[in-house]
Each structure stands twice: as C-alpha cells, then as structure tokens.
Copies of this chain bind each other. A is one copy, B any other.
Amino acid sequence: MSLQREEPNYFGAGPAQLPTAVLQQAAKDLVNFKEIGIGAGEISHRSAPGVAIIDDTKAYLKKLWKVPDTHEVFFLQGGGTTGFSSVPTNLVASFVKKTGKVGKPAYVITGSWSKKAYEEAVRLGFDAQVVVNSKTIEGKFGDIPDVDQWKIPSADDTPFVYYCDNETVHGVEFREFPVDHFKGIEIVADMSSNFLSKPVDFSKYGLVFGGAQKNVGIAGVTIYIIKKSLLDHASDEELRKLNVPISPIAFDYPTVVSKDSAYNTIPTFNVHIIELVLEKLIENGGIDAQQEKNIKKSELLYSTLEKYPSVYHLPVTKRARSRMNVVFTIKDGSLDSEFLKEAAAAKLTGLKGHRSVGGMRASLYNAVSLHSVELLADFAEKFAEAHK
C-alpha cells in the first residue's frame, strides 16, 4: 500500500493539514513501532515505549516553546471544550485553597470560543464576570476593544482571567494580552488554534491550553501548560461545602499530573503524532522560524485581499487580524460558490467560512506551506481581476 500523496493545499480550520512526512512516519508506526512488532496504538501506555512517547513529547514541547520549570505540561482528552469546564473547576479549587473563597472567574469575550467558555462556567454554577465582550461594544465580533474599555476585576476576588488568544471562527487574534492590567490575577489562555505558532512568555501565564488538532496533531489530545503552584487544590470536602463542582477524576489536574498524564489510558498514538510534529518543528528551526513563516504567509494573503476592496471584505480590524485564520467575504455573496468551486478546481480546499459567519476562511496553520499560500493568493488575485 502506498503512503505517497501530492502535497495538499488544505486551508481547513481544524482538524487541519499536518506535515506529510509526519503522517508517513506515524502510519508506519501505527503498524510496527520501532520494530517492536506491534504498533504505537497497541502498546500499553505503561510500557517503556509508551511512557517514552509521553515523556519525549513533554520534553520536546518544553524545549521548543521554552516552558520554564515553574510550569508543568500534561495531556488530557476531551478537546478545548472540556477545557471550558475543567478550567474553572480546577482553578477555583486552587483559589479556594489559597484564599478560602470561591471568587468570580473573569472572562474576556472576543469571539464564539471565549463566549462558549464563559457560558460553560455559568452553566456549571460559577459566578463568572465579564471583563469585556467585544460584541456588546461593537455589535459584532471582529475587534479587540482598547483595554480602557475593559472592566478590570479585583485581584482578591478573581481566581483567574480567561481569554482566547486566537478566535478560530471570527479570525480575531491577540498580538499581546494586556497582562499588566491584571496584577495578582492568574492569566488563562485558550491557544487551541494558535498553539506553537509564536513564542509565549509563560512566566506571565497561570495556564495555557490547546487542542492538538490545529497546529500539532490530530484530534483526541489537549495540551495543558500550568503553573505548578496552581496544582494545590482545596479538598473535595471543602469544595462541596462551598458548592464548588468537583472535577471528574480524569480531568482533575493534580491527579493527572501526579500520574504523568496516564492516570487513565492516554491515547498514546495521538500523542505520538504530536511528538513527531514537535520533532519536525525543532528540526525546521524552532518557534521563531515558524512565527516568521506564519507572519509571511498571513501578510501575503491579507495584502492580496486588501488590493481588491471592491471584491473582498475583511471584517476584522487590522490590529486584531489572526495570522492563523484569515476570514474574508466576497462582497457579491452570489459569487461564493463560484469562488469555492474554482478554488477546488485549482486544488485549493477547506476554504468555506464557519457556518455562523459565512464567507471564506483560509486557515494558515503551521503545516500550511508558504507555497500553498502563494497559490491561494494568486488564485484570489485572478478571481478578483475577473470580478472587479
């Protein structure tokens, strides 16, 4: 059976394109891992090669993204959506331990994912507060309002402030989160869709998490990078007394960390794919090189689209434009299907916008090559010339 494929030009928002060489190696390892006679999905997560996959993946991630020793890396199942639930449950448990109080988790809402995270905290019974909701201010998602329009919460009553570093659906990304306005408050970032796309100063973060299925793997694993001091929780009895929900055991951060991410069976093969992606990123020059490539790709596409203001509309304010998800619409909406059809004919796929937003979305994750973006920019240019 052949493991060859033509290099794809796939701009899907996630799950997303991965490096072909990574998938070819993973395919081989699925059948026979390191010549041990069985595959990476069949070995025990407690066997030596199983444990090595977890440990190597953690080590590569720490090295590549310069994660300091103050922070711990661990893996969970359940995707970013499970993070929406596990973040308040776990971080309030450490806030109770530290202060004896439940407090009010604070949310910065700049798109549908941070909105969902806020809604889940409320649904679980937390008294969550909104720091800012850009839709309330602007009438729609598509910008990050100036911090002087935010309602900064008080440190002694706020277990954490939560934001989504890159909003996949609306194409809104933070250049830099205004951490200095949140002195004494733990910062939590959902980086599901720009994970490992740029350097991050982890000393400023209490927790960064992200689903693997955009930049680092296939669906099934979520990576957490947490400040170790936040792993100290109040007891279940104390939490129950304060009416704080108890985390399901498989999503209790201290339990999972104490078992090196294998409290229960971890999807070893899915973690192995992350391991291979990280190896390749290191090989290709690390995070700085990847960021440079990502800037180049997104600038090329945005600048091409901007050249045709009569054809393309860019709904996101310039300062908040995502380097991962380039959202645009065709002003003449009746051309949408023609655009997608002709793009597909040119082997450019995965461009349809999210159902809640419409239009187009080109996701330029790490594995999407500059060459693919050049082809897309060329196509967008020709399409615009024909329809301007």
**Contacting A10 at CB < 8 Å: which of B13, B16, B31, B42?**
B42
Closest to A211 in B: B265
CA–CA, A103 to B364, complex, Å? 51
CA–CA, A120 to B264, complex, Å? 13
A283 to chain B, nearest CB (A): 18
**In the complex, what residues of B have CB within 8 A of residue A10's CB?**
37-38, 42
Q: Is there contact, CB below 8 Å, between B39 and A18?
A: yes
**In the complex, what residues of B have CB within 8 A of residue A358's CB?**
none
Q: Is there contact, CB below 8 Å, between B124 and A218?
A: no
Q: Is there contact, CB below 8 Å, between B38 and A219?
A: no
Tell me the number of copies of this protein: 2
**In the complex, what residues of B have CB within 8 A of residue A79's CB?**
77, 250, 264-265
Q: Is there contact, CB below 8 Å, between A42 and B6?
A: no
A23 to chain B, nearest CB (A): 5
Interface string of A1-23 (1 = CB under 8 A from B): 11111101010111111101001
Report if A310 contacts B (CB, 8 A): no
Given A249-B81, A249-B85, A265-B15: A219 and B1 within 8 A (CB)? no
Interface centre among A41, A47, A79, A80 (most CB of B within 10 A): A41
Report if A220 contacts B (CB, 8 A): yes
A199 to chain B, nearest CB (A): 26
Given A12-B42, A12-B43, A218-B269: A77 and B77 within 8 A (CB)? yes
**In the complex, what residues of B have CB within 8 A of residue A220's CB?**
77, 220-221, 267, 269-270
Q: Interface size on A (CB < 8 Å)? A: 75
A117 to chain B, nearest CB (A): 10
**Contacting A27 at CB < 8 Å: which of B3, B17, B123, B350?**
B3
**In the complex, what residues of B have CB within 8 A of residue A1's CB?**
3, 24-25, 27-28
Q: Is there contact, CB below 8 Å, between A17 and B38?
A: yes
A272 to chain B, nearest CB (A): 10
Given A3-B28, A5-B31, A42-B16: A85 and B218 within 8 A (CB)? no
Comparing A55-63, A153-161, A240-248, A287-295, the segment that makes contact with chain B is: A240-248
Q: Is there contact, CB below 8 Å, between A28 and B27?
A: yes
Q: Is there contact, CB below 8 Å, between B30 and A23?
A: yes
**In the complex, what residues of B have CB within 8 A of residue A273's CB?**
41
Report if A195 contacts B (CB, 8 A): no
Report if A202 contacts B (CB, 8 A): no
Closest to A1 in B: B28
**In the complex, what residues of B have CB within 8 A of residue A269's CB?**
218-220
Given A3-B1, A31-B20, A270-B270: A44 and B350 within 8 A (CB)? yes
Across the A-B interface, the 8 shortest Cβ-Cβ residue pairs = A41-B218, A85-B248, A220-B267, A27-B27, A81-B264, A77-B77, A220-B220, A219-B267
- Which A residues are closer than 8 A to B by beta carbons? 1-6, 8, 10, 12-18, 20, 23-28, 30-32, 37-39, 41-45, 47, 77-82, 84-86, 120, 123-125, 211, 213, 217-221, 236, 240, 243, 245-246, 248-251, 263-270, 273, 347, 349-350
19 additional A-B pairs beyond A79-B250, A85-B249, beta carbons within 8 Å, are A1-B27, A3-B3, A3-B28, A5-B31, A5-B32, A6-B37, A10-B38, A14-B44, A15-B42, A18-B42, A38-B349, A41-B217, A42-B218, A81-B263, A82-B264, A120-B248, A123-B249, A124-B246, A211-B265
Pairs across A and B, CB under 8 Å, 21 listed:
A3-B31, A5-B37, A10-B37, A10-B42, A14-B265, A16-B42, A23-B31, A27-B28, A41-B273, A45-B219, A77-B78, A77-B79, A78-B248, A79-B264, A81-B249, A81-B250, A218-B267, A220-B220, A220-B269, A220-B270, A243-B243
